[in-house]
Chain A
Amino acid sequence: MKAVILSNIFILANQIASNLKRKLDIESLVITNPLKREIKVSNLIPDDVSLVIFDLPSQEVKEILEDLKENKGARKIIVLGNDDSYKDIVEIVKMGVDKYIKKPFQDELLIRVVKELFSQQASAMEKVDKGGFITFARKVGEVWVVTILGCLEEGVINRLESMKIDTNKVVLSLNGVSVGCLNVSELDKVIQFFRDRQIDVRYIVVREKIRGLLLERGVGEELIFTNEVLAIKSFS
């Protein structure tokens, strides 16, 4: 997980950062004070950041959230509030904040909140891509479970790349792919995507047509399952 803390109180931000790094699997954590200089939101919060913690006066929080609203994506946003009015809190929460925590708070509370937010990520909403598909991805132990629903069209590979799959074990469910808009060349690209990265894939497929296409492309029958539990178990 990559995280950013936007704070104008360096000592507190530093304390929060060291606590998060100690207790959670944080790949990188940046502390920035946006009040010090004019910085674009896109520079403050790069695309690959999945957790943003605000520790700023409410007016600044609102301004940054306003700029961020189009690009929130699956990021989790936590606001650490101070003496904000009820009206401010309501406005902030309505702007896409996942959790508002009133200060002072116990360190353990923030850790618990972050853990809860990321455990909920599997049920986060995903929007239909312009290719007519939705992808869901979540990690179960060492296995990434990826689901494609709707059309299998151009753009799926970009989605797979953006998932930043960090293991060599993937379960890919293709049951939600509509046979009527399955672009076979995109299926080839998906298979090749995993082969190029030497990722071991188990496919979940019930539909005969998709099963047949996989077999024609050299996917072994032993790699095709009817449900996720059996597919994950097959790695052990």
Chain B
Amino acid sequence: MRIEYINPFVEATFEVLSEILKEGNLRRGELFLKRSPTPNYGVSIIIGLTGPASGRVLLDMPPNTAKKLISAISGDEVKDLNDIGKSALGEIANMIVGNAITKLYKKGFTFALTPPTVITGNDYTIDTPQIETLVVPVIFGEDKLEINIALKEA
């Protein structure tokens, strides 16, 4: 996986989370590789990509982190992950993807993307066969989110 494809998504996630949470103390956890599907935290946003590389980017977080993000953009405290909450998460995903594609475009990479899809639940796994997944943990206070990037060069 080329770092040029990975960095825009990582940077965009940091920028957008800093913007909506209005806090600068986000930090990156230790990167690791996933070779097989593992249980997810309960709330995932998936974006499919094709172009110079194909695969998917997945933002994975526990429900409490998702609620915190939704509260931050809606201005109200969120208790349930209902349709309104999921829709708000979709908008956060739009912000991240919009920033990322701008960064990629400025580097000369043109991708095709699927609209971000929000999935919630307790018992699901998301697998991308034959593509190693690079996981970039993002930690802010007691909350965490993982950026999973699984891209294969075309």
Chain A residues within 8 Å of B, Cβ to Cβ? 122-128, 132-134, 136, 147-151, 173, 175-178, 180-181, 204, 206-207, 226-230
- B112 lies within 8 A of A175 (CB): no
Task: Identify the interface centre among A123, A133, A150: most chain B CB within 10 Å of its CB.
Answer: A150
- A229 lies within 8 A of B98 (CB): no
Q: Which one, A123, A151, A207, contacts B114 given CB within 8 A?
A: A123
- Which B residues lie within 8 Å of A173 (CB)? 91, 94
Instruction: Give chain B nearest CB distance to A211 CB in angstroms.
Output: 12
- B94 lies within 8 A of A176 (CB): yes
Query: In the complex where A128-B112, A180-B102, A181-B102 touch, is A226 in contact with B74 (Cβ < 8 A)?
Result: yes
- B95 lies within 8 A of A229 (CB): no
- A226 lies within 8 A of B73 (CB): yes
Q: Which residue of A lies closest to B72 (CB)?
A: A206
Instruction: Give chain B nearest CB distance to A77 CB in angstroms.
Output: 17
- Which B residues lie within 8 Å of A148 (CB)? 98
Does chain A have a CB within 8 A of B124? no
- B97 lies within 8 A of A176 (CB): yes
Q: Which one, B50, B98, B106, B110, contacts A149 given CB within 8 A?
A: B98
Beyond the given pairs A125-B112, A126-B112, A132-B105, 20 more chain A to chain B contacts, judged by CB atoms under 8 angstroms and listed by A's residue number, are A124-B114, A125-B48, A132-B102, A132-B106, A134-B113, A148-B98, A149-B97, A149-B101, A149-B113, A150-B102, A175-B91, A180-B102, A206-B95, A226-B73, A227-B84, A227-B90, A228-B87, A228-B91, A229-B84, A230-B84
Q: Which residue of B lies closest to A232 (CB)?
A: B87
- Which A residues lie within 8 Å of B99 (CB)? 178
- Which B residues lie within 8 Å of A175 (CB)? 91-92, 94-95, 98
Q: Count contacts between A and B, CB distance < 8 Å.
A: 92
Instruction: Give chain A nearest CB distance to B154 CB in angstroms.
Output: 13
- Which B residues lie within 8 Å of A136 (CB)? 115
- Cβ contacts A to B, 10 pairs, < 8 Å: A123-B114, A132-B106, A134-B101, A149-B94, A149-B113, A175-B92, A175-B95, A181-B102, A206-B91, A227-B88
- B88 lies within 8 A of A177 (CB): no
- Which A residues lie within 8 Å of B97 (CB)? 149, 176
Instruction: Give chain A nearest CB distance to B109 CB in angstroms.
Output: 9
Docked complex: B47-71 residues within 8 A CB-CB of A: 48, 50-51
| Cα of A162 to Cα of B154 in the assembled complex, Å | 29
- B90 lies within 8 A of A228 (CB): yes
- Which A residues lie within 8 Å of B51 (CB)? 127
| Cα of A132 to Cα of B51 in the assembled complex, Å | 14
Does chain A have a CB within 8 A of B1? no
- B115 lies within 8 A of A122 (CB): yes
| Cα of A206 to Cα of B73 in the assembled complex, Å | 7
Does chain A have a CB within 8 A of B40? no
- B91 lies within 8 A of A229 (CB): no
- A151 lies within 8 A of B105 (CB): yes
Docked complex: B6-54 residues within 8 A CB-CB of A: 19-20, 48, 50-51
